[in-house]
Amino acid sequence: MATDNLVQIDHLTFGYDRSRVILRDVSLEFPRGKVVAIMGLSGSGKTTLLRLIGGVIRPQSGKILFDGEPVDPSDIDKLFALRRRLGMLFQFGALFTDLSVFENVAFPLREHTDLPDSMIRDIVLLKLNAVGLRGAASLRISEVSGGMARRIALARAIALDPELIMYDEPFAGLDPISLGITANLIRRLNDATGATSIVVSHDVDECFLICDYLYLISSGRIVGHGTAAQLQASEDPEVRQFIRGEPDGPVPFHYPAKPIEQEMGLAG
């Protein structure tokens, strides 16, 4: 049952326990072939959304649809079948430290296909080439830099040509050149393979550059969504503070404390 949206989240509520509700009644759509960003402060629940889509955790209420089918963590076979259609780039790469660069990218191919070694070799080298690291194939993971690690992880994530690629903070901590490379890769890969991409990030500038649509999450709710232009023009104070990086606003600068006059003994 093909729909316009590869992934659809309807009225989802999730909390690790009753006292900590991370997401409240959120609804998001991820149209096929588009790059959509989920932005927000640290700890706002962005990564949790990725984990919900991947079926790692189960929502308290609401539903998640992948290609029209609900994501059900209790049906292991269906879940694993779903996961073979998606690739995830973890924040620091999450490369397997006991394998070489080549073996890391080859991992999904070895585990899920019966392809002969020669074909696996070709595919791995092509994927590494797509991220510009074909020459690094024989290195050990301990020998690669942070930026390289993320690119290798990206090559690994696309090894099986997934329909959905999820990026968890792909821009965090990168130098300007690596930043440019990464943003470029995300957009080009999405367009070249016809995949759908979800980018979780708080880097407003890069997201504006490459994303077709963006969601802004704060305190477990969606406070704004739209194209880059729409968000920039938004009058909502929370959206404006985030987009412009203003130090004070709906998200206060000061951690809750007594009035300073009282603290310093200045009150009369």
Partner 1 sequence: MNAVADFLAALGARALRLLRSLGHASLFFWELVRFTPAALRRFDLSVVQIYSIGNLSLVIIITSGAAVGGVLGLQAYYALDRYGAAEQVGLLVALSLLRELGPVLTALLFAGRAGTSLTAEIGLMKAGEQLAAMEMMAVDPRGRVLAPRFVAGIVSVPLLSAIFSAVGVAGAYVIGVKLIGIDSAAFWSQMQDGVDVFKDVGNGMVKTVVFGVATTFVALYTGYESDATPEGVAQATTRTVVISSVAVLVLDFLLTSLMFSTRP
The residues that touch partner 1, with contacts defined as CB under 8 A, are 54, 56, 79-81, 83-84, 86-88, 90-92, 94-98, 107-108, 111-112
Cβ nearer to partner 1, comparing 182 with 218: 182
Yes or no: say if 23 and 62 are a contact pair by the CB < 8 Å rule. no
| Closest distance of CB 198 from partner 1, Å | 13
Cβ nearer to partner 1, comparing 83 with 221: 83
118-135 b/e (C-beta count within 10 Å ≥ 16 → b): eebeebbbebbebbebbe
Cβ nearer to partner 1, comparing 90 with 208: 90
Q: Structure tokens of 245?
A: 């990086």
CA dist 160 and 162 (Å) reads 6
Cβ nearer to partner 1, comparing 4 with 98: 98
| Closest distance of CB 80 from partner 1, Å | 4
| Closest distance of CB 4 from partner 1, Å | 25
| Closest distance of CB 109 from partner 1, Å | 11
| Closest distance of CB 136 from partner 1, Å | 19
| Closest distance of CB 78 from partner 1, Å | 11
Cβ nearer to partner 1, comparing 51 with 134: 51
Cβ nearer to partner 1, comparing 26 with 149: 149
Q: Which amino acid, one-letter code, is at 224?
A: G
